[in-house]
Amino acid sequence: MISIPPDSRDDEPVAARAHFLKVFLSQRSQMEALVNRRVGCRATSADLVQDLFLRFWRRPLVQVEELSTYLLRCAGNIAIDHLRSEGTRVRVNEGWQPDEPHSHGSEPQAALEAGNDLRHVEAALRALPERTRQIFLLNRIHGRKYAEIANAMGLSQSAVEKHMMRALDACKASLRDDEPRMPRKAP
C-alpha cells in the first residue's frame, strides 16, 4: 500500500495531487509488472515503484499530456537504472575478490610468463628496422601522435601508420611464437 508522505505541499492544488494519486494507483500493477519483467524480482520491483512514487510526490507536479504513459515510461527507466547500478556494483565487487581461491599460488608462474613475454617482445623490437623501431618507441613510449612523428621524421602519416602496423605485428608474432613452449592455463 502506498502511504502519502506528510510533507504535501499546500500551494499546489489538491485536485492535481488527487489526480496524480488516482492515476498512479491505477497504473501501479502495470508498472510493477513492467519493472518485474526487467528486474526479475517482485520485491525489488515493488520497492522501485514505491521509490518512483516518492520521487514524484516530493517534487512539484509537472503537467504532462498523458500521465499514465509517462509513469510507465518512468517505471521502465527506473528498472534500467537499477540494472545499471547493480551491474556496476557487481563489477566493483568482483574486482575486490580474487578470481580463483588459489590465485596466490599462480602469481610466480604469471610473473615468469610475463617476463618471458617481455623478453620476446624486446627481441622482436630489436629485430625491427631502425626507423620502424624508432616510430614505435616514439608512439608507444613517448606518447607522440602519428602526425607529430610524421612531421618530425619527414614522412607521411600513412607511412608512419604502416611502420606501426609492422611493429605491432612483430610484437604479436613474438607472443604467438612463445605460446607452444609456454602453455597458458585457460581462465
pLDDT score at 134: 92
Q: How many CB atoms lie within 10 A of CB 52?
A: 20
Instruction: Quote the CA–CA distance of 127 and 169 in Å, as a whole number.
Output: 12
Last residue of a domain, one of 96, 129, 155: 96
pLDDT tens per residue, range 31-45: 999 999 988 889 999
CATH number assigned to the domain comprising residue 50: 1.10.1740
Q: Which contiguous run of DSSP H or E holds residue 54?
A: helix 42-58
Give the Cα separation of 187 and 183 in Å (integer): 13
pTM: 0.44
Task: Judge if 111 and 92 occupy the same domain.
Answer: no
Q: What letter would DSSP give residue 65? A: S
Distance CA 122, CA 101 (A): 33
What distance in Å separates the CA atoms of residue 79 and residue 44, rounded to the nearest whole number? Answer: 9
Q: What is the pLDDT of residue 135?
A: 93
Q: Is the pLDDT of residue 81 over 70?
A: yes
Per the model's pLDDT, the better-predicted residue between 176 and 91 turns out to be 176
The three cell numbers locating residue 144: 607522440
Number of domains in the chain: 2
Residues 148 and 168 in one domain: yes
Produce one character per residue of 130-162: b if its CB has 16 or more CB atoms within 10 Å, e if not. Answer: eebbbbbebbeeeebebeebbeeeebeeebbee
* 154: containing domain: 107-178
pLDDT of res. 93: 67
pLDDT: which is higher, 61 or 187? 61
Same domain as 91, residue 29: yes
At which residue does the C-alpha cell 509537472 appear? 62
Task: Note whether residue 125 is domain-resident.
Answer: yes
Residue 7 lies in a domain: no
Cell 492535481 identifies what position? 16
